[in-house]
Structure 1
Amino acid sequence: MPTVALTPTTTRLSPLLLACLASTWFVWGSTYLAIKWALVSFPPFFQMGTRFVAAGLVLGAFARWRGARWPDRAQWTSAFILGALMLGGGYGATAFAQQSISSGLVVAFIAVVPAVVALFELPYGVRPSRLETAGIALGLVGIVLLTQGEGFGASAAGLVSMAIACTAWCAGSVWAKHGLPGGRKLELAPGAAGYASQMLAGGVLLLALSWGAGEQPTLPPDPRSLACWFYLVVAGSLIGFSAYMLLLQRTSTALASSYTFVNPVIAMVLGVTVGGEVVGAGEMLAAGIVTASVVLLLAGRR
């Protein structure tokens, strides 16, 4: 895994890639409710920053123990660019939105990621098929309907935050695979050292945002919030995010983004049954339309 440059799409998934898909599908689907509960004691940027710094330190120590070389200057530059987009913009804005929007609605909004990824890949010569085009159009219709619901209508700041989160995450995902507009490739250090550098870079940037926003965690933290924070470090970052970056390197961007098909179902079920959240019928319909758009996108890229 020398770089995150474009590599041939895997035609037959290995057990490792299947495990990575399962991690992004099921583990990530449960993290949105965990983020919501962790917000009780840990403000959004502080929560995300400490989470990724902790995960980056653990993963970096593991990589060094395995004899991996530490990233050079160019690899650190790539780590900061991708960390700023995918972790700072993607995770930071998502956590900020969850202060005013339910976890189920947040992940339903994120289901439009494959459509936005397809648009970001157009400058690289990756043209959507007819099914993909239909999926993009249907996804945009679903998002428009979703933003008209009571949940998003009550929080303009949450809506804007989710738009920023999706755009930043998609830009980072596409640029990690194809390079920056203009042709410059983004090269992370090989393997775990590369993932660790990205987590550390993004975590430091998020902590800087936390300091600038004047965030203050609640000490001592609520026990459930602290447990959720540890869950996010281990399951969400060390396992889930590392699995996603590996999928970006070894499979297509569309397959790596297929977690958006499963995450809305898991997040909404957990949010309603465990988290006590309320999702209206109109918002459920909109989420279903967005999910159908993802099915079309994946079918178009088989």
Structure 2
Amino acid sequence: MNAFLYVLVVLIWGTTWIALKWQLGPVPIALSIAYRFGLAALLLFAWLLWRRQLVVPRGRARLWVLAQGLCLFCLNFVCFLNASRSVASGLVAVVFSSAALWNALLARLVHGRAVAPQVLGGGALGLMGLVLLFWPEIASQHAGTSTLAGLAWALGGTLCFSTGNLLSAALQAEGLKPVQTNAWGMAVGTAILLGYALLAGQPLAFDPGPRYVGALLYLAIPGSVIGFTAYLTLVGRLGPERAAYSTVLFPVVALNVSAWAEGYRWTAPALVGLVLVMAGNVLVFRRRRAALPPASPTAPSPRPRGLA
């Protein structure tokens, strides 16, 4: 079951980046995200009511749901959409794959889990890989500043995503299912984004064009209802660190889609950078072999089988 969830998340989230890019246009970013998660929340609430599984979070779980909605269904996508303004969607997905490292580091800060040497080594490899992937854009006189800004937005969105992972793990430890917390979290994110749009005086614009509507439906149903439920189920089963391992394969899918849809061109440094990013993520989750305990000097040596 875990393998199926991994494949499902990789295929869905590896292709949502181009849909995010297609939402950029006359509709303000905050409203595009609000439309996505508002629709997804309505579908999840309808499902929960039909299954008679709707639960209202109480106590500290209510605060965690509010924080999850802010981090996972609001701020991170504001960051990702702003990043997509200046860099290819596939490159944003590569930055997002560093969530594996951020999850491990945040688990250290929040839960006090020791950071293994391979996590630090994987982080160093990933950083070198990101530099190589972005080097053609950084070196360009025309896009250097905007590319650096896009990279900063993408890193900020990834950090928000990782924070939401830890909050989801805490909520599942309280006995709440991802589909339940996602419904409330998406509703919270939608309310925050709509409130911001109204305060900022943004008109309630909507693009009826087929590309925008198609991207919205894909992001709301497969990308949000299915993708987030599958991914956060992995978070509950495996922990936020190991669940984020699925992000290792996102760049492979996303960059190939970007090459087809956006004209992204592979270069030798980019290929090397992609390999380093993926190797770094794999290294982060490589399990260390447990050392064998020293033999007791007083313990008798075991006799070979078959001998008296």
Residue 83 of structure 1 pairs with residue 75 of structure 2 = no
**Greater relative contact order structure (CA < 8 Å, 6+ sep):** 1
Mapping of residues 108-187 of structure 1, within 5 Å: 108-123=94-109, 124-150=111-137, 153-155=144-146, 156-177=148-169, 187=174
Deviation sequence 1:100-126 (CA, Å, 0-9, x none): 211011011112111111111113232
Distance in 2 (CA, whole Å) between partners of 1:147 and 1:126 is: 32
Residue 207 of structure 1: how far off its partner (Å): 2.6
SS for the counterpart of 1:49 is helix
8 Å CA contact 1:40, 1:222 repeated in 2: no
Larger Rg: 2
| Matching residue within 4, 13, 17 for 1:32 | 17
- The aligned counterpart of 1:227 is 214
8 Å CA contact 1:112, 1:294 repeated in 2: yes
Distance in 2 (CA, whole Å) between partners of 1:51 and 1:188 is: 27
Contiguous gaps of at least 5 residues in structure 2: 290-308
TM-score between the two structures when normalised by the length of structure 2: 0.82
SS for the counterpart of 1:299 is coil
| Matching residue within 83, 104, 107 for 2:93 | 107
- Give the direction of change, closer, same or farther, for the CA distance of 1:268–1:216 in structure 2 (3 Å limit): farther
What amino acid sits opposite 2:91 in the alignment? L
TM-score between the two structures when normalised by the length of structure 1: 0.83
Which contiguous aligned blocks of 4+ residues in structure 1 show a shift greater than 6 angstroms?
none
Deviation sequence 1:226-256 (CA, Å, 0-9, x none): 1111011111000001111111111122221
Mapping of residues 5-24 of structure 1, within 5 Å: 15=1, 17-24=2-9
Distance in 1 (CA, whole Å) between partners of 2:203 and 2:257 is: 28
8 Å CA contact 1:139, 1:293 repeated in 2: yes
| Matching residue within 78, 82, 94 for 1:92 | 78
Residue 170 of structure 1: how far off its partner (Å): 1.4
Residue 72 of structure 1 pairs with residue 57 of structure 2 = yes
8 Å CA contact 2:33, 2:78 repeated in 1: yes
Distance in 1 (CA, whole Å) between partners of 2:166 and 2:73 is: 14
What amino acid sits opposite 1:98 in the alignment? S
Q: CA RMSD in A?
A: 2.6
Residue 172 of structure 1: how far off its partner (Å): 2.0
Please, which moves more after superposition, 251-260 or 69-78? 69-78
Deviation sequence 1:194-244 (CA, Å, 0-9, x none): 221111112222233344455456545221111111011111000001111
Distance in 1 (CA, whole Å) between partners of 2:192 and 2:173 is: 18
SS for the counterpart of 2:285 is helix
8 Å CA contact 1:109, 1:143 repeated in 2: yes
Residue 62 of structure 1 pairs with residue 47 of structure 2 = yes
Distance in 2 (CA, whole Å) between partners of 1:206 and 1:54 is: 13
- The aligned counterpart of 2:243 is 256
Amino-acid identity (%) = 28
8 Å CA contact 1:45, 1:96 repeated in 2: no
Distance in 2 (CA, whole Å) between partners of 1:147 and 1:213 is: 33
8 Å CA contact 2:89, 2:258 repeated in 1: yes
8 Å CA contact 1:129, 1:300 repeated in 2: no
- Give the direction of change, closer, same or farther, for the CA distance of 1:294–1:41 in structure 2 (3 Å limit): same
Please, which moves more after superposition, 93-102 or 187-196? 187-196
- Give the direction of change, closer, same or farther, for the CA distance of 1:288–1:84 in structure 2 (3 Å limit): same
- Give the direction of change, closer, same or farther, for the CA distance of 1:266–1:286 in structure 2 (3 Å limit): same
Distance in 2 (CA, whole Å) between partners of 1:209 and 1:41 is: 17
Distance in 2 (CA, whole Å) between partners of 1:98 and 1:177 is: 28
- The aligned counterpart of 2:179 is 192
- Give the direction of change, closer, same or farther, for the CA distance of 1:220–1:199 in structure 2 (3 Å limit): closer
What amino acid sits opposite 2:66 in the alignment? F
8 Å CA contact 2:45, 2:54 repeated in 1: no
8 Å CA contact 2:178, 2:229 repeated in 1: no
